[in-house]
Amino acid sequence: MQTMTISSKSRLAACLLLALMLGACSKQEEAAPAAAPPADGTPAAAEPAAPPAPAVAASVQAMSADQLREAATQALRENRMYAPAGDNAMEYYLALRDKLPDDPSVNSALTDLMPYTVIATEQAVGREQFGEAQRLAALIEKGDASAPALPRIKQSIVSAQQAVAQRSEAEATRARAEVEARTQAEQQRAVQQQAAEADAARRLAEQQEAARLAAERQEAEQRAAEQRAAQAAATQQPARPAAAPTPPQRSLRAVSMAQPRYPPEALRSGTAGEVLVEFTVERDGSVSDARVLRATPPRTFDREALNAVRRWRFEAGDTPVTTRRTLVFSPAD
């Protein structure tokens, strides 16, 4: 069996070599891609801490002393001082120390590797890679259970895990609050839309009711005008001797009464008025001989009133009937 001895000059060279290798390892670890965030946009949880595992892998412990020396030398040459797990110089030297506890070269190599392992552990904590940090902390504890940095490292792991948990909870709370705010906004918009639809339906019902009342008022005015005209005609006729009774005048029942078109100029100016029209209802119910008797204001609504009356239709009867109707024009209607 060969015994590895390290002189003071060799140890200095080894320290410089280890420093260079540590820088390379750190760059490799920092270049590792970060885990992709969840597709649903929820905050990414911190890397879960794996259950404590043996500091040195069982496969490493099973190696012989010569195999461990060769593997440790190769690991140092390839900058695998403390990573990856199960194939790094730190684990090889720890396993070798278990087999050769009094070998000064092994203890010296572990002493040289310890500061870099401490730095790597702190970097893993900073990157919130708690599983890796706990693995490295286990290597430090196995290498030197009384290392001054060990309590601080363990406490930093616990504190960082708690901070990540609190941050995750805060992010989850904020996400829930945003979802609730969006839900409330959508509900408010739905309520506003329902209120607008109800208001539109109410306005339409009011307009239909106003149109119905206007039509009834117009019909009542027409009947009153007919009665007045009949009374005036009766008073103007001279008294005649009693003669044979005449057949009663047929009653007029409208089949369709087209509403007059409101003149655009009058509508824009808000002008209102009325037109008294006299016309004859023929036996087939059509209208003929329509003419304006009175219009207020003059010549503003005459044409539209006559056009509307000529389109009116009544039930057929035995004799023609001459009657009058007053058409009211109001912009409010």
Q: Which residues pair with 281 in a beta bridge?
A: 287, 321
Return mean pLDDT, the chain.
84
Q: Which residues of 17-35 are buried (b: 16+ CB within 10 A; e: fewer)?
A: ebeebbeebeeeeeeeeee
pLDDT of residue 234: 65
- Please give the pLDDT value at position 24: 47
- Per-residue pLDDT reduced to its tens digit, 203-218: 987 888 887 888 788 8
Task: Give the residue ranges of the chain where pLDDT is below 70.
Answer: 1-52, 234-249
Q: What pLDDT is recorded for position 248? A: 59
Please give the DSSP secondary-structure letter assigned to residue 146: T
Residue 53 is predicted with a pLDDT of: 78
State whether the Cα torsion 260-266-267-270 is positive or negative: negative
- Beta bridge mates, 322: 280
The domains located in the chain, with CATH, are 10-29+44-174 (no CATH), 254-329 (3.30.2420.10)
Helix, strand, coil % over all residues of the chain, rounded to 5: 55, 10, 35
Helix crossing, 104-126 with 89-99: angle to 10°?
140
pLDDT of residue 157: 96
Residue among 140, 147, 103 at smallest CA distance from 6: 103
Please state whether beta strands 254-256 and 321-329 pair in parallel, antiparallel, or not at all (unpaired). Answer: unpaired
Give the pLDDT score at 201.
77
The answer to whether the pTM exceeds 0.75 is: no
Query: Residue 140: CB partners within 8 Å, gap ≥ 6?
Result: 114, 117, 118, 121, 147, 149, 150, 153
* DSSP symbol at 321: E
Summarised one tens digit per residue, pLDDT across range 175-185 is 999 999 999 98
DSSP letter string over 14-28? HHHHHHHHHHHHHHH
Percentage above 90 pLDDT, the chain: 64
Instruction: Please say whether the beta carbons of 290 and 230 come within 8 A.
Output: no
Q: In the prediction, which pLDDT does 29 show? A: 47
Instruction: Please give the pLDDT value at position 6.
Output: 36
